[in-house]
C-alpha cells in the first residue's frame, strides 16, 4: 500500500509540475540541461587556463589555496565548468520562457498545458521505473512476489522496468548479473565482519592458573600419592 501511494505521488507531482509549466518549457528544460552540459564539456577547457593564470602566476612555483582550503587550479576548473553551465542554462531558460509566452499569446496555452501533463505522466513513469530497476535486476520472481505482490502498481513497475531494460547495453546487464550472483556472499561477509570477534573475549574470560596455584595442586597430588 505504501509503495502504491509513493508511485501515485511521484506521478501526480510530475504531472502537476509539467501541466503548470507547459510542454514547451519542460522539453526545453531537458534540452537546456543537455545543451549546458555539452557546452561546458566543449568550452570549459578553453576557459580553464585563463582562469588558472588569473589566480596563479605561471612563474609561481608554490600553488596557493583559496581560503586555505581549495587549490587555485581546482577552483579555476570548478569556475570554468560551472560558469559555462550556468550561463547556457540561463540563456536557454530565457528562450523557453519567451517561447512559452508566445504560445499562450497565440492561443496555444491550453494545448501546451495538456501536452505538458502528458509529458509529466511519461516522465513520472520513467522515474518510478528507474527507481524500481535495481529491484528488477537483483530480486528473483519469488522475492518480487514477496515484496511487491500485494501492491496494485507492481505490474506497471515491472512493465516499465522491462521497457527500460531494452535500452541498457548488454555489457552493463552482464555486470548486473555478476553483482546479483555475488550479492549473497557479499552480504554474508559484511554480516560476519560486523559481528565482534568473541574468541579473544573467551580467552580473556577463561581463568588461568598462576604459578602458585599450580604448585599447590602439584603438592596436593604428591600428598595423595604418598598416602
- When pLDDT is cut at 50, 70 and 90, the band that residue 87 belongs to is very high
- pLDDT value of position 117: 93
Domain count along the chain: 1
Strand ranges (DSSP E) for the chain?
A: 65-66, 70-71
Give which of 164, 68, 67 is closest to 122, Cα–Cα: 164
User: Are the C-beta atoms of 119 and 27 separated by less than 8 Å?
Assistant: yes
- pLDDT value of position 212: 62
The more confident residue out of 147 and 213 is: 147
User: Are the C-beta atoms of 163 and 129 separated by less than 8 Å?
Assistant: yes
- When pLDDT is cut at 50, 70 and 90, the band that residue 70 belongs to is confident
* Residue 58 cell numbers, joined: 605561471
- When pLDDT is cut at 50, 70 and 90, the band that residue 186 belongs to is low
pTM equals 0.57
Given a cut of 60, is residue 205 above it in pLDDT?
no
Taking phi over 0 as left and psi of -120 to 50 as alpha, with beta for the rest, 63 belongs to beta
The more confident residue out of 193 and 27 is: 27
According to DSSP, residue 157 is labeled H
CA atoms in the 13 A half-sphere facing the CB of 140: 5
Domain that holds residue 151: 1-224
CA of 205: how far to CAs of 66, 167, 214, in Å?
A: 55, 60, 19
Dmax over Cα atoms in the chain, in whole Å? 121
Burial of 108 (0-12, 13-18, 19+ CB in 10 A): middle
Q: Which of 150-154's residues contact partners 24+ apart within 8 Å by CB, and which partners?
A: 150/1, 151/1, 151/3, 151/4, 152/4, 153/3, 153/4, 153/7, 153/8, 154/3
Amino acid at each position: 500500500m505504501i509503495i502504491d501511494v509513493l508511485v501515485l505521488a511521484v506521478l501526480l507531482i510530475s504531472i502537476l509540475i509539467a501541466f503548470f509549466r507547459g510542454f514547451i518549457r519542460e522539453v526545453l528544460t531537458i534540452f537546456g540541461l543537455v545543451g549546458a552540459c555539452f557546452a561546458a564539456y566543449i568550452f570549459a577547457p578553453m576557459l580553464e587556463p585563463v582562469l588558472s593564470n588569473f589566480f596563479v602566476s605561471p612563474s609561481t612555483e608554490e600553488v596557493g589555496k583559496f581560503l586555505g582550503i581549495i587549490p587555485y587550479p581546482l577552483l579555476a576548473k570548478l569556475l570554468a565548468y560551472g560558469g559555462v553551465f550556468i550561463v547556457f542554462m540561463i540563456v536557454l531558460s530565457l528562450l523557453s520562457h519567451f517561447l512559452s509566452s508566445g504560445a499562450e499569446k497565440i492561443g496555444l496555452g491550453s494545448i501546451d498545458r495538456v501536452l505538458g501533463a502528458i509529458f509529466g505522466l511519461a516522465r513520472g513513469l520513467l522515474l518510478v521505473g528507474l527507481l524500481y530497476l535495481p529491484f528488477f535486476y537483483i530480486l528473483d520472481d519469488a522475492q518480487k512476489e514477496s515484496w511487491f505482490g500485494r501492491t496494485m502498481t507492481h505490474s506497471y513497475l515491472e512493465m516499465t522496468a522491462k521497457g527500460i531494460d531494452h535500452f541498457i547495453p548488454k555489457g552493463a546487464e552482464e555486470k548486473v548479473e555478476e553483482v546479483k550472483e555475488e550479492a549473497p556472499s557479499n552480504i554474508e561477509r559484511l554480516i560476519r565482519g560486523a559481528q565482534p570477534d568473541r574468541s579473544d573475549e573467551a580467552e580473556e574470560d577463561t581463568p588461568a592458573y598462576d604459578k602458585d596455584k599450580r604448585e599447590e595442586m602439584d603438592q596436593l597430588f604428591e600428598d595423595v600419592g604418598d598416602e
